[in-house]
Every structure is written in structure tokens, then in C-alpha cells.
Amino acid sequence: MVKNVLLTILQFAAFLIAFAAGNLLPLVNISFLTKWADGTRGFQWDGILLMLAVFVLILLIDAARKRLRTAAPRTIFALLLAAAAGLALKFGFMTFDR
């Protein structure tokens, strides 16, 4: 039980670090920009894409170990929690002044 909680916390940290790293070091530079009267705002998708790549990698490792049924729910929980925390911390959001 304690091992599962620790693994979930480590996966959460890995997803959050991947989300932040993807936005600090844009690999693909996919962004969505909207022009407003007070400036341009946008969202950069690189962090989410990198976080999803780490998610798929973890699920592939769990599938190879034949532990997908027990490990997938906590991996999904860690992904959703990291996505919510990253968006709350405003990772990926950009504002450009005129």
C-alpha cells in the first residue's frame, strides 16, 4: 500500500516535471494564439504532449510487466492530478504585450 502511494507521488512528479520542461524547452512549438485588445494570449501544447509521451511510456512498461490492470488507475490519477496542478500553475500559458 505504501509502495503504491509512493509510486503515484513519483509519477505525479515525473508528469509535472515533463509538463514544465516541455513548456520551458519547446520541442515542437505548437501554440494556439488569440488576439485581444490588451495583447495576445496563447497556450503552448509542448508540455502536455511531453507529459502524454511519458504517460504512454509508463503504460507500456506496466503492460510489459503484465501489471496494467493494477497500475493503470494510479497512473491515470497521477496524470490528471499533474495536469490540473500544471494548469493551475499556468504552465503553457503565454501573454504578449502589444
Tell me: the pLDDT tens digits for 15-44? Answer: 999 999 988 887 777 777 776 666 777 888
**Which residues form the domain of 33?**
2-90
Identify whether 21 is part of a domain: yes
pLDDT at 6 over 60: yes
| pLDDT confidence band for 97 (50 / 70 / 90) | low
Predicted pLDDT at 11: 97
pLDDT at 12 over 80: yes
Identify whether 97 is part of a domain: no
CA pair distance 23, 94, nearest whole angstrom: 10
Identify whether 84 is part of a domain: yes
Predicted pLDDT at 43: 81
Predicted pLDDT at 64: 96
Cell of 5: 502511494
Identify whether 98 is part of a domain: no
pLDDT tens digit string along 59-88? 999 999 999 999 999 999 999 999 999 999
CA pair distance 57, 71, nearest whole angstrom: 13
Cell of 73: 488507475
Identify whether 81 is part of a domain: yes
93 has which bridge partners?
43
Predicted pLDDT at 98: 55
Number of structural domains the chain divides into: 1
